[in-house]
A and B are shown apart, each in its own frame.
Chain A
Amino acid sequence: MKHSTSVIATAAVLCSTQAAFAQTEIEFWHAFTGRLGDLVAEQVETFNASQGDYTVVASHKGNYSETLNAGIAAFRAGEQPDILMVFEVGTATMMSAKGAVKPVFEVMADAGAEFDQSKYIGSVKGYYTSPDGNMLSLPFNSSTPVLWVNRNKLEEAGIDPDTDLSTWENVGATLDQLKDAGISCPMTTAWQSWIHLENFSAYHDVPFATKDNGFGGTDTELAFNGEAQVAHISAMGEWAQDGKFIYAGRRNEGGANFRGGECALFTESSAGYAGIKAEAEFDFDVRPLPYWSALVDEPQNTIIGGASLWVMEGQSDEEYKGVAAFLNFLSSPEIQAKWHQDTGYLPITTEAGEKTREMGFYDENPGTDIAVIQMTAKEPTNNSKGLRLGSFDQIRGIIDEELEAVWAGDKDAQAALDSAVDRGNTLLRRFEQASQ
């Protein structure tokens, strides 16, 4: 059956290539719908129109998890695409799949394409590089958490909307005032594990996991039950009990409450920009993610979330040349600057960031450069380069469960984080065994 389909597929490809003047087709599977989907389609069309040798065919395969599963299933059937979009938590899974993926730096070298890895922003590409500094995948959409402020709500509570919210100490005091003024939702968050544990750890330069957060090998163990993290989750737990922090859900459910004008403060990805700008009927601000001044004098950098593009093994040299051309096209300053400005995602190259500044975008849209500054102000340490943990999507699920126990008042922060570490370590050992 597999043979007959591949015969038909080959026949179809033969016919279409003849009709399309012998263009090589590059298959690209992604996870974007809606406006982001349109923007990806636009990038692909621009690329296809810009040259005559290759045609990129983009297909939407569901959300991040579904796209990864589609890629895995396709690989097992020998029908994998050329390029697969994988979210950042799937990085370790892809890396350990030697024989299934072809590292981007190799694709570029084999195709003889120009590829200067120093062009890429260190803290963005760092998440996806090998220990010797070579890029394994191409960062596509990257964002980092920031603090969103509803200025009208602060005014309503009699607080100066320009009040300093750079530290959690100050945020705590502001939450008290908001609560006293009768605001029903002083603060909410999206992606609790990503913001309040993963980024929190990087930002305060404490390890999330041993072995440099997993960069040093699959025998890593979780370490986010340290003093700093427990202090933060404790404080958040108290705020949750007092009705100052409103938990809305595991993903970005809280976004609806913030955009609807109910919540004063909101910790969410910088990529929330497009949605908030479109829907918010109030004055809002983007502020850097707060840090605990009791823990550090000044914060380290935050880490990214989002997805990168992986090149799959088993394609023809001609196709890899096309892939190289497409990845270089995506990295070009014009395309990157446009993507950055349209979506709020971080630019992947320094050049694209500079171009955006020259165009005056940051002046017209104050706060949109906060994420870039927060990511790049400091050289990343081993604690703030990113995370490389197997089964990490599921470990996040465990963290969600344990944090819910804290917000509900069922467990204290130490017990919950200890339990999350234990349960997560079991999964890490499973992953280590599977990837031997």
Chain B
Amino acid sequence: MEKRVTFKGIWLPILLVLPQLVITVVFFFYPAGQAIWQSLFIPDPFGLSMQWVGLGNFEYLFSDPYYRASFVTTAVFSILVTVVSMGVALYLAVLADRLIKGSGVYRTLLIWPYAVAPAVAGVLWLFMFNTRVGVVAWYLGLLGYDWNHVLNEGEAMGLVVVASAWGRISYNFLFFLAGLQAIPKSVIEAAAIDGAHFWTRFRTIVFPLLSPTTFFLLVVNIIYAFFETFGVIHTITSGGPQQATTILVYKVFSDGFVGQDLGSSAAQSVVLLFLVSILTVVQFKFIERRVHY
């Protein structure tokens, strides 16, 4: 006999999932629906009038070469943030996993940056790299390198990537460390006895066994780079120099809240909505297949 817990009637299950449903509808479906609805209009800022333009906002957006360029900027930025924050975190986690003495202190120190809000992190990095008074910029000057992220596009991108990845390293570190500690020691010891060196063990045993964690972090980090790095970009570069660090989310903000162009801003949110849906489907469909649970 199949053992299954079933409810009699329909009302109790509905009542039980209701809180979740209400939250999803109020905080997700309703705003998303509003964004889609508004993207079909050009409203004036004060909401006094609205003009139906159909897909006009989307036409307007995609005919703008700067908007199209922003996709490339976003891709470069997200990939760099993800690779840097995950790479460094994995390296540190592997080291911390091997520590015997003082690992508690080491771990605590590594986790700290996660508590720093993105905007504050942005200001901290900006101070260090400020072209005229920054400590790092000054030392680079002594070495004969003229640091100027205010005008140099590559340097600006590098700076926002590092500032965004920095706080994220802690978060990734935590997950990688937990993942590493969940790998049975006996497997690794058996491989060691068979004569596998550290790097071989890492490549053939540790990394594949770590893949669920890596996959989870990949999804989370890309979404982070897409949406939560706004504070860093706003404080460090405001999207500049020229448009070197204007990622899609930053453009939603600047069109909506600096330009008061809510129609275009809503259309961009809808584009992002689709982009993230596609990205998530791709990740779960293709990358997850390679993940060993």
Residues of A near B48 (CB, < 8 A) are: 97-100
State whether A69 and B44 are in contact (beta carbons under 8 Å apart), knowing that A247-B150, A250-B240, A404-B240 are contacts in the complex: no
Task: Assess whether B241 is interfacial by the CB under 8 Å rule.
Answer: yes
Residues of B near A75 (CB, < 8 A) are: 46-47
State whether A401 and B255 are in contact (beta carbons under 8 Å apart), knowing that A248-B131, A433-B42 are contacts in the complex: no
Tell me, in angstroms, the Cα distance from A430 to B61 when the chains sit together: 12
Tell me, in angstroms, the Cα distance from A72 to B259 when the chains sit together: 13
Task: Assess whether A405 is interfacial by the CB under 8 Å rule.
Answer: yes
One of A69, A76, A397, A436 near B254 (C-beta < 8 A): A397
Are B254 and A394 within 8 A (Cβ)?
yes
One of A247, A257, A436 near B51 (C-beta < 8 A): A436
Tell me, in angstroms, the Cα distance from A69 to B255 when the chains sit together: 12
Are B44 and A96 within 8 A (Cβ)?
yes
Tell me, in angstroms, the Cα distance from A431 to B47 when the chains sit together: 14
Of residues 396 through 412 on chain A, the ones whose CB sits less than 8 Å from some CB of chain B are 397, 400-402, 404-405, 407-408, 410
Are A434 and B42 within 8 A (Cβ)?
yes
Tell me, in angstroms, the Cα distance from A68 to B261 when the chains sit together: 14
Tell me, in angstroms, the Cα distance from A400 to B150 when the chains sit together: 11
Q: Nearest chain B CB to A394's CB is how many angstroms away?
A: 4
Task: Assess whether A391 is interfacial by the CB under 8 Å rule.
Answer: yes
Task: Assess whether A256 is interfacial by the CB under 8 Å rule.
Answer: yes
Q: Nearest chain A CB to B185's CB is how many angstroms away?
A: 54
Task: Assess whether B2 is interfacial by the CB under 8 Å rule.
Answer: no
**Chain B residues bordering chain A, tally (CB within 8 A):** 33
Are A65 and B258 within 8 A (Cβ)?
yes
Task: Assess whether A217 is interfacial by the CB under 8 Å rule.
Answer: no
Residues of A near B289 (CB, < 8 A) are: none
Tell me, in angstroms, the Cα distance from A247 to B42 when the chains sit together: 37
Chain A contact residues (Cβ within 8 angstroms of B): what range? 35 or more
Are A433 and B46 within 8 A (Cβ)?
no
| Chain B residue nearest in CB terms to A251 | B238
One of B46, B60, B238, B241 near A430 (C-beta < 8 A): B60
Tell me, in angstroms, the Cα distance from A70 to B151 when the chains sit together: 32
One of A72, A249, A402, A431 near B46 (C-beta < 8 A): A72
Q: Nearest chain B CB to A396's CB is how many angstroms away?
A: 9
Of residues 234 through 263 on chain B, the ones whose CB sits less than 8 Å from some CB of chain A are 238-243, 254-255, 257-261, 263
Are A434 and B43 within 8 A (Cβ)?
yes
Task: Assess whether B132 is interfacial by the CB under 8 Å rule.
Answer: yes
Task: Assess whether A423 is interfacial by the CB under 8 Å rule.
Answer: yes
Are A426 and B259 within 8 A (Cβ)?
no
Residues of A near B150 (CB, < 8 A) are: 247-249, 253, 404
Cβ contacts B5-46/A at 8 Å (1 or 0 each): 000000000000000000000000000000000000011111
Are A404 and B241 within 8 A (Cβ)?
yes
Residues of B near A100 (CB, < 8 A) are: 46, 48
| Chain A residue nearest in CB terms to B257 | A69
Task: Assess whether A393 is interfacial by the CB under 8 Å rule.
Answer: yes
Task: Assess whether A10 is interfacial by the CB under 8 Å rule.
Answer: no
Are B64 and A426 within 8 A (Cβ)?
yes
- How many A-B residue pairs have C-beta atoms within 8 angstroms? Tell me: 91
Task: Assess whether A177 is interfacial by the CB under 8 Å rule.
Answer: no
Tell me, in angstroms, the Cα distance from A410 to B46 when the chains sit together: 39
One of A65, A72, A99, A401 near B45 (C-beta < 8 A): A72
Task: Assess whether B170 is interfacial by the CB under 8 Å rule.
Answer: no
Tell me, in angstroms, the Cα distance from A100 to B49 when the chains sit together: 11
| Chain B residue nearest in CB terms to A249 | B150
Tell me, in angstroms, the Cα distance from A436 to B43 when the chains sit together: 10
Residues of A near B51 (CB, < 8 A) are: 433-434, 436
One of B60, B240, B259 near A394 (C-beta < 8 A): B259
Are B44 and A435 within 8 A (Cβ)?
yes
State whether A430 and B264 are in contact (beta carbons under 8 Å apart), knowing that A404-B151, A407-B151 are contacts in the complex: yes
Are A76 and B131 within 8 A (Cβ)?
no
Residues of A near B240 (CB, < 8 A) are: 250, 400-401, 404
Are A434 and B263 within 8 A (Cβ)?
yes
- Highest count of chain A CB atoms <10 Å: which of B152, B258, B263: B258
Residues of A near B243 (CB, < 8 A) are: 401
Cβ contacts A48-77/B at 8 Å (1 or 0 each): 000000000000000001001100100110
Task: Assess whether B281 is interfacial by the CB under 8 Å rule.
Answer: no
Residues of B near A22 (CB, < 8 A) are: none
State whether A391 and B42 are in contact (beta carbons under 8 Å apart), knowing that A100-B48, A247-B151 are contacts in the complex: no
Q: Nearest chain A CB to B283's CB is how many angstroms away?
A: 33
Cβ contacts B128-139/A at 8 Å (1 or 0 each): 000111000000
Are A93 and B60 within 8 A (Cβ)?
no
Are B44 and A434 within 8 A (Cβ)?
yes
Cβ contacts A420-432/B at 8 Å (1 or 0 each): 0001001100110
Residues of A near B151 (CB, < 8 A) are: 247, 404, 407-408
Residues of A near B46 (CB, < 8 A) are: 72, 75-76, 97, 99-100
Residues of B near A93 (CB, < 8 A) are: 45, 260
Tell me, in angstroms, the Cα distance from A100 to B46 when the chains sit together: 7
Task: Assess whether B106 is interfacial by the CB under 8 Å rule.
Answer: no
Task: Assess whether A262 is interfacial by the CB under 8 Å rule.
Answer: yes
Are B260 and A391 within 8 A (Cβ)?
yes
Tell me, in angstroms, the Cα distance from A98 to B44 when the chains sit together: 11
Residues of A near B238 (CB, < 8 A) are: 250, 397
Q: Nearest chain A CB to B31's CB is how many angstroms away?
A: 15
Task: Assess whether B216 is interfacial by the CB under 8 Å rule.
Answer: no
10 further interface pairs, Cβ-Cβ under 8 Å (given A250-B238, A433-B42): A72-B46, A98-B48, A99-B48, A262-B132, A394-B254, A397-B238, A404-B242, A408-B242, A430-B42, A434-B43
The 7 closest A-B pairs by CB, nearest first: A394-B259, A100-B46, A404-B241, A408-B151, A76-B47, A97-B46, A401-B242
Q: Can you list 26 pairs linking A and B with CB atoms under 8 Å apart?
A: A93-B45, A97-B46, A97-B48, A247-B150, A247-B151, A250-B238, A253-B150, A256-B132, A257-B132, A260-B132, A262-B132, A393-B258, A393-B259, A394-B255, A394-B259, A400-B240, A401-B243, A404-B240, A404-B241, A404-B242, A408-B152, A430-B60, A430-B261, A431-B261, A433-B42, A435-B44
